Amino acid sequence: MAFTYHELKAKTIGELRDISKDVKHEAVQGYTQLNKEHLLVALCTALGVPLHDHHEAAGIDKAAIKAKMRALKKDRAAAIEAGDHDKLKAVRRSIHHLNRQIKQHLV
């Protein structure tokens, strides 16, 4: 049975030790003596499960949004220098909106 990191992390130490019984790999040797953090890493190594999820932005052009954000950050620095609070607030809101747009499309 294939597991993900989050599925394994949600299991109790007893359940992880039951899974380790069936795995023949040197990383899980001495599984009865390992605590949950160490056993979780050992199981992930033995089963070939990545230790964290890789998120991708799907459905948007992340590079273009990042380019807009870099330009807005320059505008933000100019607004700070000029002391233009209205422009500064508008630019910060735009940057925040673009950040949220990227995070909403993470898969």
pLDDT digits (tens, 9 = 90+) for 41-55: 999 999 999 887 778
Highest mean pLDDT among 35-44, 56-65, 70-79: 70-79
Supply the DSSP string of 79-107, one letter for each residue: HHHHT-HHHHHHHHHHHHHHHHHHHHTB-
Q: How many CA atoms lie within 13 A of 56 on its CB side?
A: 2
Pair of tokens at residue 22: 């069936």
pTM, whole model, 2 decimals?
A: 0.59
- Residue 83: left if φ>0, alpha if ψ -120 to 50, beta else—which one? left
pLDDT digits (tens, 9 = 90+) for 87-103: 999 999 999 999 999 99
Model confidence band, residue 1 (pLDDT cutoffs 50, 70, 90): low
